[in-house]
Amino acid sequence: MLRFCRVKFYLTSQSIRNKIKTMEYDALIVGGGPAGLSCAINLAKSGLSVVVFEKRKIPFRKICGEICSPRGIDELKSLGIETEKFFAVKKMSAWSHPYYMSADLSEFNLFCRMIPRDALQELLAERAEECGVKIMEGMEIKEIGKKEKKWVLRAKDGEWRGIFLIGADGFNSVVRKFLSCISPRKKDIAIGVRAILEMDSDETLRFYLHDSTMPGYAWIFPLGNGLVNAGFGIRADQYPSKGIHPVRDFFIFFSSI
């Protein structure tokens, strides 16, 4: 029996369904960000046929600190992506008035790298295609259902069927909505603002903490060549109940340092 999550699917006539082009894959991934593309690479390397759907053009903008941890660097290497060309960060510090702490990562033979999000997405997309992944950009999923033990995704240009369905499409997940999953709680959602600023900085990740924004924080991450990635983020349940305005407070904070 054919059952889908939207009534509209039932109203599609048999003659129209017969004209829709249907494609078969082992895994259907909705979302072409770092999570979706990384998943696609791993599945393709294991021998599965994979297609990724992304409604935007890759790469696309997202608020991001763009710092890749030592573990993240190792994960990218396991995917076949080298990161040596990106700016290395060897120190970190945290300031919460009147307290200050710092650490030298190089003492533990560790370092982070600043990898611009758009560059990371391009590298992951290129690697995914090298592994045989099909990436469908500008492809918005209209309907999701299940037929004969397979997931069925329908978009404007066709229908795709697969054994596995993976939702990697972020906060406004279409997969979550179609499957009627529980919506995220406000305390699980972050609100943030960031900018690339001209500022003298060494090889140090800087975190700034305050009671009014905990567990949120501000950050300054060096990019090299006199530039930094500066940002401010809080939990959604803190805004506006605590009188915090991310954009206003961002400019107030960074104009004071």
**Within a domain: residue 24?**
yes
Q: Which CATH number belongs to the domain containing residue 191 in this structure? A: 3.30.9.10
251 and 134, same structural domain?
no
**Within a domain: residue 77?**
no
190 and 174, same structural domain?
no
What are φ and ψ of residue 102, in 5° steps?
Answer: -145, 160
What are φ and ψ of residue 115, in 5° steps?
Answer: -115, 110
Q: Which CATH number belongs to the domain containing residue 149 in this structure? A: 3.50.50.60
* CA dist 37 → 45, 131, 132, 225 (Å): 12, 11, 12, 30
Q: Residue 160 pairs with which residues in a beta bridge?
A: 23, 153
**Euclidean distance between CA atoms 190 and 188, whole angstroms:** 7
194 and 251, same structural domain?
yes
What domain count does the chain have? 2
- Write out the residue range of the structural domain in which residue 226 sits: 90-112+186-255
26 and 107, same structural domain?
no
151 and 26, same structural domain?
yes
* pLDDT number for residue 154: 95
16 and 129, same structural domain?
yes
* pLDDT number for residue 2: 36
97 and 56, same structural domain?
no
**Within a domain: residue 153?**
yes
C-alpha gyration radius of the chain: 22
This prediction has a pTM of: 0.85
* pLDDT number for residue 4: 40
* pLDDT number for residue 211: 75
* pLDDT number for residue 42: 98
Domain finish residue from 178, 196, 217: 178
**Within a domain: residue 241?**
yes
pLDDT in tens, the chain (257 residues): 333 444 334 334 454 555 668 999 999 999 999 999 999 999 999 999 999 999 999 999 889 999 999 999 999 999 999 999 999 999 999 988 788 999 999 888 899 999 999 999 999 999 999 999 999 999 999 999 999 999 999 998 899 999 999 999 998 899 999 988 778 887 888 888 999 999 888 889 999 987 767 778 899 999 999 999 999 888 888 776 666 676 777 777 766 66
* CA dist 70 → 67, 73, 77, 109, 149 (Å): 10, 5, 11, 10, 40
**Within a domain: residue 27?**
yes
Domain finish residue from 133, 157, 178: 178
160 and 197, same structural domain?
no
Residues 6+ away with beta carbon under 8 Å from 50? 25, 26, 27, 29, 40, 43, 44, 128, 132, 133, 134
**Within a domain: residue 67?**
no
CB 149 within 8 A of CB 106: no
* pLDDT number for residue 244: 67
Label the pairing between strands 91-96 and 204-208. Answer: parallel
Tell the burial category of 160 from Cβ atoms under 10 Å away from its Cβ (0-12, 13-18, 19+): buried
**Within a domain: residue 68?**
no
| Residue tagged 């305005």 (tokens) | 245
DSSP secondary structure string for all residues of 104-162 = EGGGGT--EEE--HHHHHHHHHHHHHHTT-EEEET----EEEEETTEEEEEETTEEEEE
131 and 57, same structural domain?
yes
DSSP secondary structure string for all residues of 181-221 = PPPPPGGG-EEEEEEEEE----SEEEEE--TTTTT-EEEEE
123 and 40, same structural domain?
yes
Domain finish residue from 178, 196, 215: 178
* pLDDT number for residue 241: 64
